[in-house]
Amino acid sequence: MSRTQDALYAELDLELSWSERDLPERERTKHVHRLHPYLGKFIPQLVETLLARYVPAGGRVLDPFAGSGTTLVQALESGHDAVGVDVAAFNALLMRVKVAEYNLFTLEHELRDAVARLAAADGTTRADVPPYVRRWYAPCAAAELLAFRALIPDYEHADVLRVVLARAARSARRTTHFDLDFPRAPQRGPYWCHKHKRECRPVDRAEHFLRRYALDTVARIKAFARVRARGRSAAVLHGDARALDLDGPFAGVVTSPPYPGLIDYHEQHRYAYELLGLDDLGPLELGRGSTKASVEEYAKGVAEVLERSAERVRRSGRVVIVVNDRRELYPDILERAGLRLEHRVRRHVNRRTGRRAGEYFEDVLVARKKSHS
């Protein structure tokens, strides 16, 4: 082990450095956290611990880069109200579906009804298939996705059905099993699959995914309903956190900002934007690109969001930021945001899949407004 690694290990907060055995996948993806895949989320148990450590019991929490809504969901489970902001419309939709309160009987009835109607629909290929759908889906899968989409407006819980459609659309793309995150070109024929170590074929149907995910969604929303605190709610704001009114006051902020050049948060759900006709605010997304100019714009933008967020936090409230700051941008970002670092905790992140293997560490920065220190 190198000396730098020794130093990294010496600083670890073991309570936040779970091993695969401590925290198996089913725990990390419990209830609504796995309503739809999302690359770049933090794990719910991390949020749970940070809320317990740094946010007063029952206080309202803000996440200005809320992503798939991990902070919001865990806040509700831990007895807090919460507000989440995200610039990506699909993320806002996903969060709303996760944190909404449902009449579970109606929800289940509607999802089962939609699936039954889909099974009865005739699966003939349509003439009006949009170019994206024609390119990325086999004719039968395209017909099933579009037939399901046509049913959505008939239901009260249309947004839940939209998330089911997006999840099925992700799985039904003509892609390899090992490249579901950012496939570059459609995979039309059989291929050698690194994940399954055998020859696989791209899928050509979507109905089975729609059925499976509809039932899974009901089960997950029911499971969350059993553990969320009563009388607590979360609001979701869609837009640029540099510009939106963040409301407040808040007892604390728990967030993980994007990082330059790592993940394009609109692009990872391209299929959802195409199928659901969502607003694409990509140019306002922070962290796109890694040129000197885009990194500078990133630092300025994140600092602005953190400063605006901190202004809404009560006296003595904490701003907690989870980041893997390999460029060491955060000392300057905190300074620009008028925040003072109270302490930094380092955690060891266990990467899960072989193809993304490699050790990796993350910092939890606990800061406060300078004027109140």
Residues making contact with ligand SAM (CB under 6 A): 38, 40-42, 65, 67-68, 70, 85-88, 91, 240-242, 256-258, 265, 284-286
Closer Cβ to ligand SAM, 200 or 244, answer by number:
244
Closer Cβ to ligand SAM, 29 or 233, answer by number:
29
- The CB-nearest residue to ligand SAM is 67
Minimum Å gap between C-beta 192 and ligand SAM is 32
Minimum Å gap between C-beta 258 and ligand SAM is 4
Closer Cβ to ligand SAM, 81 or 86, answer by number:
86
Closer Cβ to ligand SAM, 85 or 203, answer by number:
85
Smallest Cα–Cα separation from 276: which of 153, 95, 99, 120?
Answer: 153
| 13, 346 Cβ separation under 8 angstroms | yes
| CA 364/CA 351 separation, integer angstroms | 17
Closer Cβ to ligand SAM, 192 or 360, answer by number:
360
Closer Cβ to ligand SAM, 74 or 187, answer by number:
74
Closer Cβ to ligand SAM, 176 or 350, answer by number:
350
Minimum Å gap between C-beta 300 and ligand SAM is 11
Closer Cβ to ligand SAM, 86 or 274, answer by number:
86
| 236, 130 Cβ separation under 8 angstroms | no
Minimum Å gap between C-beta 121 and ligand SAM is 34
Minimum Å gap between C-beta 284 and ligand SAM is 5
35 by DSSP, 3-state: which? coil
Minimum Å gap between C-beta 297 and ligand SAM is 11
Closer Cβ to ligand SAM, 313 or 320, answer by number:
320
In sequence order, what are the beta bridge partners of 304?
none
Q: Give the other-Cβ count within 10 Å of 64's Cβ.
A: 26
| CA 152/CA 158 separation, integer angstroms | 5
- Residues 161-194 as b/e (b if ≥16 CB within 10 A, e otherwise) read bbbbbbbbbbbbbbbbbbbeeebeeebeeebeee
| CA 15/CA 110 separation, integer angstroms | 42
Minimum Å gap between C-beta 278 and ligand SAM is 12
Smallest Cα–Cα separation from 132: which of 273, 283, 282?
Answer: 273
- Residues 212-234 as b/e (b if ≥16 CB within 10 A, e otherwise) read ebbeebbebbeebeeebeeebbb
| 67, 91 Cβ separation under 8 angstroms | yes
Strands (E), 187-328: 191-193, 198-200, 234-238, 250-255, 313-323
Smallest Cα–Cα separation from 168: which of 147, 185, 189?
Answer: 147
Closer Cβ to ligand SAM, 148 or 273, answer by number:
273
Minimum Å gap between C-beta 238 and ligand SAM is 9
Smallest Cα–Cα separation from 62: which of 45, 43, 82, 81?
Answer: 82
Minimum Å gap between C-beta 50 and ligand SAM is 11
| CA 49/CA 82 separation, integer angstroms | 16
**What angle, 0 to 180 degrees and rounded to 10, lies between the N-to-C axes of helices 207-227 and 139-151?**
40
Rounded to 5°, the CA angle 287-290-295 comes to 65
Minimum Å gap between C-beta 318 and ligand SAM is 16
